[in-house]
Amino acid sequence: MTDGTGLIGRFYKEIIEGGNLDLIDELATDNLVDHEEALPGQPPGKEGVRFFVTAIRAAFRTLRSRR
């Protein structure tokens, strides 16, 4: 059994840092439920993840993961 750190690492490195929004479809399930409070205007599910990543990348243009 894996501990999930590879998936989380890919999310931060390739999606948040690298901007590969298409990878969200591979890493997130169709019935994704985000248990964090949504940003204003953030839709649910995978589209919400795209919205969040786009907002974070716009606000923190030099964001890098420490993996």
Model pTM?
0.83
Residue 67 lies in a domain: no
Residue 66 lies in a domain: no
Residue 64 lies in a domain: no
- How confident is the model at residue 67, as a pLDDT? 59
Average pLDDT over residues 58-65: 88
The answer to whether residue 1 scores a pLDDT higher than 60 is: no
Residues 61 and 16 sit within 8 Å (Cβ to Cβ): no
Please choose, from the candidates 4, 2, 54, the residue with its C-alpha nearest in 3D space to the C-alpha of residue 24.
54
- How confident is the model at residue 4, as a pLDDT? 65
Q: What total of structural domains would you count in the chain?
A: 1
Residue 12 lies in a domain: yes
The answer to whether residue 66 scores a pLDDT higher than 80 is: no
Residue 65 lies in a domain: no
CA distance 21 to 49: 9
Residue 24 lies in a domain: yes
Residue 17 lies in a domain: yes
- How confident is the model at residue 59, as a pLDDT? 95
